[in-house]
Amino acid sequence: MTRRLAVAVERFPIAGAFTIARGSRTEAVVVVCTVTEGVDGTRGWGECVPYARYGESVESVCALLEAQAHAIADGASRLDLLALMPAGAARNALDCALFDLEAKQLGRPAWEIAGLTAPQVATTAYTLSLGTPESMEAAARTASARPLLKVKLGGEGDPERIAAVRRGAPDSRLIVDANEAWRPDTIEANLAACVAAGVGLIEQPLPAGEDALLAEIARPIPICADESLHDRAGLDALSRRYDAINIKLDKAGGLTEAVMLAHEARARGFSLMIGCMVGTSLAMAPAMLLAHHADYVDLDGPLLLARDREPGLLFEGSLVHPPAADLWG
């Protein structure tokens, strides 16, 4: 029996609001791709989060997925998708669905199929949304028992924000994420503020395509590429500018590409962060296979939601457990 592809849009409310330099939202809109095969209806599924920053919309992602219905029916593999579809959210959902289907059909865990070692419990960062210094200090105090906090910054006023977060969470390790909001005339003052606060990593301080300055200035804190890197094709452009990369399955276009990207980036000397968009446990589950290979893990999407899907990943504070077979893989 041929494979059948189905696409659905689902909405999950965010607990409060999620705010970064590019705006704020109160719900996560995700696209779920399901591939079914066989008389017993064995099903694999995957989730993605369309991201406007990369020219994606729910409609465009659904259209890209539905356009692959015939290829999937004809038996297209995960490796075939690398040529059939561009890197991005749509390919991620379909790649992860095929991974899940393959694991179920073979009776083997997805990590083994991917050539990885068994996933382990990981400590995830917990994200603090962009706000006023006062609101961010309060949020940091509430989350101060968490060992790793990721702080969203926004440009003007960032030294005050990061100092306020450090006051609120004096013992937590800190990552900051500027989401491309810093500028050449502010980056050194912002770096100095991060040094003073004991920040361990800075994500994407300058806009992608306008980050050549990073190769010319002192980097007292490691700099991590996010918007500047999607898949392996972008690694050459990072030379001398970045010390680490943030691998997100929605950018890379699936776990298949992400595994290859992780191996190649390590070979080039980059540190690794495994990150996510704001999605459910279904989106985090495939990324968990890479978590124990990373220096930083940022898979807190479900912690930011008012409700997750059931069954979901098991979180114990900031500890996140590998996915059970009834969720994915």
Read off the pLDDT of residues 264-320 as tens digits, 9 standing for 90 and up: 999 999 999 999 999 999 999 999 999 999 999 999 999 999 999 999 999 999 999
> For residue 1, is pLDDT > 60?
no
The pLDDT, as a whole number, for residue 7 is 98
Please answer whether residues 56 and 89 qualify as being in contact, where contact means their C-beta atoms are separated by less than 8 angstroms. Answer: yes
Known catalytic residues? 152, 248
Sheet of strand 122-123, all strands in order from the earlier edge strand to the far edge: 122-123, 319-320, 315-316
CA distance linking residue 193 with residue 209, whole number of Å: 24
Helix axes 255-267, 89-106, angle to 10 degrees: 100
Six-digit token string for 132: 């006023």
Q: What predicted TM-score, i.e. pTM, was given to this entire model?
A: 0.95
**If you average pLDDT over residues 57-75, what whole number do you get?**
97
Could you give the residue range(s) of every CATH 3.30.390.10 domain in the chain? 4-107
Cβ burial, residue 232 (10 Å; 0-12/13-18/19+): middle
> For residue 230, is pLDDT > 90?
yes
In the block, tokens 């038996």 appear at 75
The pLDDT, as a whole number, for residue 18 is 86
- CATH class (in words) of the domain with range 122-320: alpha beta
Q: Which H helix or E strand runs over 4?
A: strand 4-20
Q: What is the CA radius of gyration of the chain?
A: 19
Task: Identify whether 311 is preceded by a cis peptide bond (ω within 30 of 0).
Answer: yes
pLDDT tens-place string over residues 26-49? 999 999 999 999 888 899 999 999
pLDDT tens-place string over residues 87-99? 999 999 999 999 9
- Relative to beta strand 201-203, strand 173-177 is parallel
Question: Cα(first)–Cα(last) distance of the chain, in Å?
Answer: 22
Which has the closest alpha carbon to 99: 74, 81, 119? 81
Please answer whether residues 318 and 58 qualify as being in contact, where contact means their C-beta atoms are separated by less than 8 angstroms. Answer: no
Q: What fold characterizes domain 4-107?
A: Enolase-like; domain 1 (3.30.390)
